[in-house]
Amino acid sequence: MIYDLIKLRLRKVLMIASSLSPPTDIKEKLTPEEYQIFDAVYNILQSWRIGIMEGHKK
């Protein structure tokens, strides 16, 4: 049961992190651990998107 809850929360955090413009109050809505995951994934995806766009311009 606890693993199901963890899976649901993680899925939600990853979906928000993959959005182009996450809610501005996201830090208040997540636990510190969830926010740490969100922040890491969001930054990785932003870097990836920038890389894709720069490669596309060449």
User: Given pLDDT bands bounded at 50, 70 and 90, which one contains residue 54?
Assistant: confident
How crowded is residue 17: how many other Cβ atoms within 10 Å of its Cβ? 19
| pLDDT tens per residue, range 8-42 | 999 999 999 999 999 999 999 999 999 999 999 99
With beta carbons less than 8 A apart as the criterion, state whether 41 and 18 touch.
yes
Whole-model pTM: value is 0.84
Give domain limits for the chain.
Answer: 2-57
- Contact between 42 and 22 under an 8 Å Cβ cutoff? The reply is yes
Nearest Cα neighbor of 30 from 12, 3, 7 is: 12
